[in-house]
Amino acid sequence: MDKNVRKVRNQDSNPCIDESDASQKCLSLNSYDKSLCYDYFVRYKNCRKYWQNILVQRRREGVKPDMPTAAERQEMLDAIGGKPY
């Protein structure tokens, strides 16, 4: 697998794999009519925005790694009662 593909599909470096997969699935089921998948796109965009803010905050505070691991992210989401996006 290509290095970039592995990075995009890596649960530890990409927190929005589920949202991305859902939007792609919606597109394929609806013959790539983007207007029918708007909600999935918004959910993906909000996911990226949320985790980008976490990444920036962790960089400012000097926390390594910049992006929390998949297990850490799940703990964070459980602590706030689910996905905020």
Q: Which two tokens stand for residue 58?
A: 């962790």
The whole-number pLDDT of residue 1 equals 64
29 pLDDT tier (thresholds 50, 70, 90): very high
Q: Exposed e or buried b for every residue in 32-61, given b needs 16+ CB within 10 A?
A: eeeeebeebeebbeebbebbeebbeeeeee
Residues contacting residue 23 through CB under 8 Å, at least 6 positions apart: 37, 40, 41, 43, 44
The pTM of the full predicted model, rounded to 2 decimals, is: 0.85
Q: Closest Cα to residue 43, out of 23, 15, 67?
A: 23
What is the per-residue pLDDT across 35-71, written as a single tens digit (0 to 9) for each? 999 999 999 999 999 999 999 999 999 999 999 999 9
Distance of CA 74 to the CA centre of its chain: 12
Average pLDDT over the chain, rounded to an integer: 93
Rounded percentage of the chain residues whose pLDDT exceeds 90: 84
